[in-house]
Structure 1
Amino acid sequence: MRPNITITIPIPYMPLEEYCRVTGMSIGTARDMVRDGRLPIKPKADKARGLVEVNMAALTVRALSECNIALNA
């Protein structure tokens, strides 16, 4: 029988600048990754303006799906 593991995501959305500070990634690289879809973001009502927020939940699910584990979301 496989054990159950609970993963808590304390911050489901993180501002892009904070994500860069935490990961050490440059803001230019992060913006390029958002543009080409490698970094998922929260949909914005106003595409031209507004805070860009990284979807940490989606990143966590993506990382877990790359492991050899069964994932129930």
Structure 2
Amino acid sequence: MRPDITITIPVPFLPLHEYCRLTGTAIGTARDMIRDGRLPVRNKSDKPRARVEVNMAALTVEALSGCAISLNAQ
């Protein structure tokens, strides 16, 4: 039987500048990653001037999907 592992995502969305600070990614590189779809962001819907927020939950799921584990999101 496999053990259960709990992964907690402390913040589901991070402002782009904070994501860049934590990961050491240049802001220009992060914007390029958003533009070509490598970095998922929160949908701004009808607020075009809203700040860009990186979807950390989607990044975590993407990272875990590359592992040989079964993933149950709750």
Same topology, TM > 0.5: yes
Superposition RMSD on alpha carbons, in Å?
1.0
* Runs ≥4 residues deviating over 6 A: none
Please report the TM-score for the alignment, with normalisation by the length of structure 2.
0.93
- Give the match for residue 70 of structure 2: 70
Total equivalences in the alignment: 73
Equivalents in 1 of 2:33, 2:20: separation in Å? 12
Is 1:35 the counterpart of 2:45? The answer is no
Partner of 2:25: 25
Give me the TM-score of the superposition, normalised by structure 1.
0.94
Counterpart Cα distance in 2 of 1:22 and 1:16 = 10
> Which structure 2 residue ranges, 5 or more long, are not aligned?
none
2:39 and 2:47 map into 1 onto residues whose CA distance is 16
Runs of 5+ unmatched residues, structure 1: none
